[in-house]
Every structure is written in C-alpha cells, then in structure tokens.
Amino acid sequence: MAITIAVVGTCLSQTVSKVTVVGLLNASENLVITTSGLREGMPFTSAVVDDAIKRVYALGFFDDVVVRGRESGDFVEIEIEVEELPQVSQIVFEGNKRIADKDLLKHSGISLNDFLSPADAYYAVRKIKAEYADKGYPKVEIETEAIETQPGRVNLTFIIDEGVQLRVGTIEVFGNEAFSDGKLRRQIETKKKSLFRSGKFNEMKYLEDLEKIEEFYRNEGYIMASVDSDSVWTDTTTSRLNIQIWLTEGNKYYFGNTEITGYYIYDSTDIFGKLKYKAGDDFSEDILEQTQAEIYFLYQEKGYIYANVEEARRIDEDTVQVWLYIDEGIQAHVRKIEVAGNTRTHDKVIRREMAIYPGETFMRSKLMRSVRNVYYLNYFNDVVPDFKVLPDGDVDLIIDVEEKPIGRFQIGVTYNSRDKLVGNISVGWPNMLGRGWESEFMWEFGASRTNFSLSFTEPWFLDTPTTVGFDLYNTKWTWSGYYTESRTGGSVRLGRRLKWPDDYFSLYWRYKLESLSYGDFSSSYSPTPTYDLRERDWPELESSTRLTIQRDSRDSRMFATKGSRNVYSFDIAGEFLGGDVVYQKQDIRSEWFFPIHKYLTFVVKGRAGYLTNAFGDDQNDV
C-alpha cells in the first residue's frame, strides 16, 4: 500500500475548483469523488486531503492512492490518482477432495468481482486451513495464484494439498493418581478413533481440552493441579496422532468456614441459605462461583442489579477458608421498556406479554418470565433481554427479538384407495397482520370427501388476557358401499389467564353446535339391527359445552425442554342444551419435560378419559 500527498503551493485560504480521478479501470469515478468528500467550492486544507485519502483507501478497491493539488491563484485543482486492485473474475479450487468447492468458497470470504489484495488472499488461506483442521487435516498446504486475464481482472486459484487425514490413535495421561485415564478422557472433546468416534484432531479444541482437565481437577478439590507439558506426534506407520499429557495433581482441599459481610437488605438466613456447599465438602471453583451468582440473583430480585459479591480465600493445610464481601449498591427501577427487532409484529403484542412494567423495581425473575412469555408466542427465533443504565442508576429494558418465518399456504393433491383423488387448499396465519391474531382456513375437495373449516382467535380481547374465538366447519364423507356422512357445525370459545393458584393457569369455555346426518345408504349396507343407522331419525343435533382448566409452564410451545402442561376438561351434551345427543366426558392430560442434555429432553406423558351418559336410562348409550 502506498498513500501519497503531493500538493504544490501554500494551500493557505484556497478553494477547491475541480476534482478529477485518474487510473480507474473498474471502479466508478463518481464513487471515488463522493467517498473522498472533496467537492468544488470547499476550503482546501491538509486535513481535508488527509481525510479524503483515508476515505478512498477504506473502500478496499485500491493498492495506491495519490492526491495532487495544482494551485491557480486562490483556487486548487485536485487530482486523485489511484492504482486499482484487480477484480476477481473466477475462483478455482484445485486438489480439494474432502471439502466441496461451494463450501471452500463460503469459508474463503472472497466473492466474484471482489477487489483482491494480498491480505485478502492471505486471510482466505487461513480461513480455509482452519476449516480443514476442523475436518482432521491439520497439515494441509495451500497456495494461491492470481493470473491476469485482462487489465484489472484476475482468475484466482487455490492450489490445495490436503495431506493425510489424521485421527487420534491414543491419549495417555501421566501423573494422575486420583482419577483414571478414562475418567480424564471423558472430560475432553478430543477423542481417539473408534467404531463410534471419528477421532478428528482440532488443535484449538485440543488446547481448550488441556484447560478443561485443569478445571476438572479444580472442581474436585485439587486447586493446585496443572498440566505441565504435552506431546502430540504422528505415528507414520498408522497415520495416527498419539497424545501424551503430563500433569501434577497436588493435594486435595476441602471447604472450611465461610464468612459473609456487607449485607443489610437481607438477614443471615437468606444469605447463608444460598451457599451451595457446607464445611467439609470437596472444594470446587464452580460451586463457589455458583454461590456468588445465587447471592447476586437474590439481590437482583429486589432491584439491586449493581450488587457485587467478591471472594477471598485462605488455605489452612487442606482446608480453604472463604470470605465473601457484598457491596449491595443502589436499587434500580425500570424507566421504560424498548422493543427492537420486530419487523412484522406490533410492539403491543410483545409489550402485553411483559411481567415487568415501567416504574417497577427491577426484578430478575420478572424479566426472565417476560422473556419466556414472548418466546412462548412462537413468533420469534430468539428473544434477548438487555438493559441500558441511566445516570441515576435506573435502567431502560430492551427486548430484542428476531422474527421467524411463520404462516402456511399450501395447495396440493393427495390420492389414497379410500378417498381417491382429493385436492386441498390450506392457509394458516399464526400472527395475522402482526397483531397476534390466529386464523386457519382449510378446504378439501374430491369425489368422496369435501371438507371446509375456518377458525379465528383473538388472544387479547379488548387488551385484556381474554381469548375469544370461533370455529366453523362442514364435512361430507362418502363411505363407498356404506353411506354418506355429513357434519355441519361451529363453536365459540372464551378463555382467560388466571393469577391463582399461580399465573401459569388458564380457564377456557367452549360451546359447540353440530348437525350430524347419515344418508344415501348403499344396498350393500347390512349391519346388525343394534347398529343399523337407518333406524335413527337424521339429522341429529349435538349441543355441547366444555370447561377446561390448564396449567402450562413449558418454556416453548413447540419444542419444550422443561416445565409441564396439565389439562383437565369436562364436556357435557344433552337435551337441556337443545340437542339430541346426550353424553358427559372427562379428559385428563399431563406432560412433563426434563432437560437431560443440551440437545436431549426426557418427556413423560399420560392421558385418561371417561365417557358416560349419567342422565339416560342406559349409561352406556352415548
């Protein structure tokens, strides 16, 4: 890179009269002049020239930038001379077998028509090498070749020698007495090659693994443990990497007494109740940090977000005495709540899910519940809380969301042996117009089956946590060789979020009216007399109502990892509601979610139901 300023004259009290650019091949002259900030009529100073050069060079298009000023009385004509970097016309990868061209292109960071500098090529090679190392090729060699095809244009070639894919053959640990090699190997990500493991070696992950071994020891009471040295070498006969690690365990230490000072807001029972250990337990850095975090979270519950918990320790033989010093700080209140990232969803839809409000004392539990409520809407990929500290110590909360694609529009045709050819049009709109409304439409049509359904839900009727909705449907199903079944009906729904017994409870009510009929009986229809549908007077009217109580504490509506959902519903239909169908039905459902691993959740589900006719002569006649 060369940046040159060449100015003829004194440059005192002079004005720019003209700006020109020379040396361009592919870049736009107007772009260069506009970016430089130089324009006719502006005062000409050395600071202006210096800033112009920085701006033009920052475009990344040029290898050399020279600015010249030619004086003519009180005016200066400026000429910007540039030496363009070549533009990339083609990118070619040679020698790559394990990683596809499109993947290498993505990792290189270089695209067609980019201006190519030596630094760009250097960093592209580094990025590609890092990707190969992650795939188990740490000895990959890469060269670049840029061939000029025409003035200002080059073809860039990456010449790759992948080398041999190295797998880990053995991992040996020396100096360990408290824990076996196998126990220590389970603490690290680097694994030796086996039937179920690839054995790939990544140098960065391996260095992190050495730190993980030390962390493991320190959480088991060996606070002086350290990895002294290690060796990674290749067995040329097997092309396997052999790893040897030497460590010093040191003595084992235990928690001693803990003294805590500086607390005034809480009493000692509250503070010491947050200790995650007791005297005599194995000393653990993690557990001590968890204790500090628990005390900090305790203070956050009363708005003391500036509280600080510092620790000091003294070692007496095999015991670690701990002192915790609490600086409570000042109490913070929420001044306002900002919503960011919502490109489709109205602010109100997010704000009404908040459990914390402006003017309230900041509470961590209320903030986390707010995040859960917003995420539970299932409109966003991510919900990130943040806050901005104000001069007086209060905070502005920021709820940053990332919208995700939602909604469904589907047109299709299906075929099966029973219904033959059936067309369908389906529309689902979970966040209708960004207002949180939910609507569903479905139309199926065919020779044997037609089905129409429409539903709409307003989850916050009149800006209250009250759900209002309706459903309409009409179905006609021809059962070949039997009869035609027709159902037409609809329902209205009403729900309300509750505050008692806790705010995970909801209560729902539904009224349903349906007309059911069977007709067009086939000559081949010949059931037993007890079940002969021809003996009944069609259509029959079902008039029913349902009451449901639900407690739902899941962290996600679609992919829950913790919490539970428990539902009890009671349906009743009878002549006293104006219908012909009589029944009573009870249904209990329960789902419990337990996180086992980052990507694994254990789920327990159960369901029970009971159907009867308590008002009829025969309780089984339903």
Q: Which of 202-206, 332-336, 361-365 has the lowest mean pLDDT?
A: 202-206
Omega within 30 of 0 (cis) for the link into 501: yes
What pLDDT digit, counting tens, does each position of 30-73 carry?
A: 999 999 988 888 888 888 888 888 999 888 888 888 888 888 88
Hey, what are 100's tokens? 């596809």
pLDDT value at position 367? 94
Residue 599 reports pLDDT greater than 70? yes
| CA within 13 Å, CB half, 505 | 9
What pLDDT digit, counting tens, does each position of 375-406 carry?
A: 999 999 999 999 899 999 999 999 999 999 88
Over residues 91-110, the mean pLDDT reads 92
What pLDDT digit, counting tens, does each position of 270-279 carry?
A: 999 999 999 9
pLDDT value at position 7? 47
Residue 616 reports pLDDT greater than 80? no
pLDDT value at position 621? 57
Scored b (16 or more CB within 10 A) or e, 588-605 reads eeebbbeeeeeeeeeeee
Residue 11 reports pLDDT greater than 50? no
Top pLDDT among 563 and 204 is at 563
CB-CB neighbours of 413 under 10 Å: 9
User: Residue 127 — very low, low, confident or very high, per pLDDT cuts 50/70/90?
Assistant: very high
User: Residue 14 — very low, low, confident or very high, per pLDDT cuts 50/70/90?
Assistant: confident
Torsion angle (degrees, nearest 10) of CA 53, 56, 59, 64: -70
pLDDT value at position 585? 95
Q: DSSP characters for 278-335?
A: -TTSBP-HHHHHHHHHHHHHHHHTTT-TT-EEEEEEEEETTEEEEEEEEE-----BEE
Over residues 329-335, the mean pLDDT reads 95
User: What would you report as the CA-atom Rg of the chain, rounded to the nearest whole angstrom?
Assistant: 37
Hey, what are 526's tokens? 């010949």
Domains of the chain: 2-84 (3.10.20.310), 87-161 (3.10.20.310), 167-248 (3.10.20.310), 254-327 (3.10.20.310), 334-403 (3.10.20.310), 408-612 (2.40.160.50)
* For the chain, percent of residues with pLDDT exceeding 90: 67
Over residues 486-508, the mean pLDDT reads 96
Q: How far is CA 574 from the centre of its chain?
A: 49
Residue with tokens 């008692």: 500
Question: CA–CA separation, 194 vs 237, rounded Å?
Answer: 18
User: Residue 13 — very low, low, confident or very high, per pLDDT cuts 50/70/90?
Assistant: low
What pLDDT digit, counting tens, does each position of 151-168 carry?
A: 889 999 999 998 887 889
Which has the closest alpha carbon to 257: 315, 328, 325? 315
Cβ atoms of 587 and 607 within 8 Å: the answer is yes
Question: CA–CA separation, 173 vs 225, rounded Å?
Answer: 14
Top pLDDT among 138 and 174 is at 174
Question: Which are the contacts of 545, defined by CB distance < 8 A and separation ≥ 6?
Answer: 509, 510, 511, 512, 571, 572, 573, 577
User: Residue 5 — very low, low, confident or very high, per pLDDT cuts 50/70/90?
Assistant: very low
Coil, strand or helix at 576: helix
User: Residue 418 — very low, low, confident or very high, per pLDDT cuts 50/70/90?
Assistant: confident
Residue 235 reports pLDDT greater than 90? no
Residue 26 reports pLDDT greater than 90? no
Residue 93 reports pLDDT greater than 90? yes
pLDDT value at position 1? 43
Over residues 243-272, the mean pLDDT reads 95
User: Residue 617 — very low, low, confident or very high, per pLDDT cuts 50/70/90?
Assistant: low
* For the chain, percent of residues with pLDDT exceeding 70: 97
Residue 311 reports pLDDT greater than 60? yes
Question: Which are the contacts of 377, defined by CB distance < 8 A and separation ≥ 6?
Answer: 349, 353, 431, 436, 557
Q: From its phi and psi, is residue 563 left (phi > 0), alpha (psi between -120 and 50) or beta?
A: left
CB-CB neighbours of 74 under 10 Å: 11
User: Residue 2 — very low, low, confident or very high, per pLDDT cuts 50/70/90?
Assistant: very low
Query: What secondary structure letter does DSSP report for 34?
Result: H
Could you give the residue ranges of the DSSP H alpha helices within 155-312? 181-185, 203-218, 268-272, 285-300
pLDDT value at position 622? 58
The rounded mean pLDDT for the chain is 91
Q: 536 has which bridge partners?
A: none
User: Residue 615 — very low, low, confident or very high, per pLDDT cuts 50/70/90?
Assistant: low
Cβ atoms of 201 and 192 within 8 Å: the answer is no
Tell me the pTM.
0.70
